[in-house]
Amino acid sequence: MRLKQNSYVTESYRKLAVNIEYANIDGNIKTIMITSSMANEGKSTTISNLACVMTELNKRVILMDLDLRKPSVHKYFNLSNNSGLTDLLLNKNNYKNYIHNIQPGLDVMTSGRVPSNTTEIIISKAIKELLKDLSENYDYILLDTPPIMLVSDPVNIAIYADAVILAIAYAETDKETIKKTIDVLKQVNANIIGTVLNKVPQNKKNKYYYYY
């Protein structure tokens, strides 16, 4: 996956990156997760593109695939997923052995083999320790996660992530569902720093693209 340098789409991701920087003026945000209400709302696409453009702001970024339900970050970057996060946690190895460098400033850790006990992994002490280690080497740790309405993993991740971006597919997810999702996230005191509206028809883009 390669973004076109000057396309409208790339500009949208750049705006998102800059807005995150503004939301992080005090420097308290390190771990940022993306989630959505339902499947297929553009989470993986958004977080992968965001990771790429953040390096333009001279940030050191690691993108981790925490969607253990349906990992896909490796596909965006044409990487093998033979080993990754789950293998790292199992083997208690050095995390550097599980990192793919994509471009200067951007590293990716794929999910690794998908286990049946995803919850245990997501809430493990080991993953929190890993994030702590990573935070010493990166400006941002970006996490791709599953949809809130389908599994409990994203809510568990929201408990320790510093910030949450909510992806919403235009005209696909109804308002009630979005409201429910926000309520669930608020219950665990998630810091929702913004929403990204995906799949907006071309002719409505200027009117509807927003971020807060």
Residues that bind Mg ion (CB under 5 A): 43-44, 72
Neighbours of 16 (CB within 10 A): 20
Q: Shortest distance, CB of residue 170 to Mg ion, whole angstroms?
A: 17
Residue number, 72 or 177, with CB nearest to Mg ion = 72
Phi–psi pair at 17, nearest 5 degrees: -60, -45
26 CB burial (10 A radius; 0-12, 13-18, 19+): exposed
107 binds, among ligand ATP, Mg ion, none (CB under 5 to 8 A by kind): none
User: How near is the Cβ of 92 to Mg ion at its closest, in Å?
Assistant: 27
| CB 45 to ligand ATP: min, Å | 3
Which is closer to ligand ATP, CB of 60 or CB of 69?
Answer: 69
**130 contacts 95 by C-beta, under 8 angstroms:** yes
Which of Mg ion, ligand ATP, none does 198 bind, CB closer than 5 to 8 A by kind?
ligand ATP
**Secondary structure E strands in 5-80:** 31-36, 61-65
Binds 83: which of ligand ATP, Mg ion, none (CB < 5-8 Å by kind)? none
Q: How far is the CB of 66 from Mg ion (least distance, A)?
A: 10
Reference 32, options 41, 19, 40, 208; nearest CA is 19
Structure tokens at 118: 């995803």
User: In the complex with Mg ion, which residue's Cβ is closer, 70 or 180?
Assistant: 70
Least distance in angstroms from the C-beta of 94 to ligand ATP: 29
With respect to Mg ion, which residue has the nearer C-beta, 72 or 191? 72
Q: Can you give the binding site for ligand ATP, defined by CB under 6 A?
A: 36, 39-45, 67, 70, 72, 147, 167, 198-199
What is the β-pairing status of strands 31-36 and 140-144?
parallel
* CA 146 to chain CA mean position, Å: 10
